[in-house]
Structure 1
């Protein structure tokens, strides 16, 4: 699987990028039909106290899977978004196996 990590209007943070690639790699071990992941880290200072945003878009067979979260740190935002991605992948896996 190809993984692209983007920092929108932020300097690149190698530790967060490495953590992201590691976590996505563990997901693709279970769901080997994931083709590509695009991850976007953004900062929104105008949001209500949180402002660290992580968006993940997965290219998979069928419609793309997308999740986003807004937390106080990029690590927490990544964890929350990955939890949502896992739920969607599990649901998609069950839909694919019934056909």
Structure 2
């Protein structure tokens, strides 16, 4: 399991990386065909106070790469929603792989 972090306009945070790794570990354990995760953190000026902290995660697995992104008022909320979306995509990918 390899996790690469990229910060765009955001300072690096060990606690945020630990939280993200904890969330991604469940995906890596449940879907052993996932090889690597690239995690992107960035901020964006928005008119809403409930968005602006963006987390994007790209997973390397057999077939096309999987990607999800979420924007909330905290990075932790963005990470949680992104991981939930990736879990849905991985479930579909695993079901497709079973049919072959």
Structure 2 unaligned blocks of 5 or more:
none
Q: Does 1:77 align with 2:78?
A: yes
Q: What is the SS of the residue equivalent to 1:61?
A: coil
Paired residues for 1:5-44 under 5 Å: 5-44=5-44
d(CA) in 2 for partners of 1:33 and 1:57? 14
CA distance in 2, matches of 1:6, 1:60: 19
Alpha-carbon displacement from aligned partner over 1:4-59 (angstroms, at most 9, x marks no partner): 11211111011010111111112111100001100001100235331010000000
Q: Distance in 2 between matches of 1:97 and 1:13?
A: 38
Matched, 1:59 2:45: no
Deviates more, 1:56-65 or 1:18-27: 18-27
TM (normalized to structure 2)? 0.94
Aligned-CA RMSD value: 1.0
Residue 33 to residue 43, structure 1, CA distance change in 2 (3 Å): same
The match for 2:89 is 88
- Runs of 4+ aligned structure 1 residues displaced above 3 Å come to none
Q: d(CA) in 2 for partners of 1:40 and 1:78?
A: 10
Tell which deviates more after alignment, 38-47 or 63-72.
38-47
Query: Is there any run of 5+ residues in structure 1 with no aligned partner, and where?
Result: none
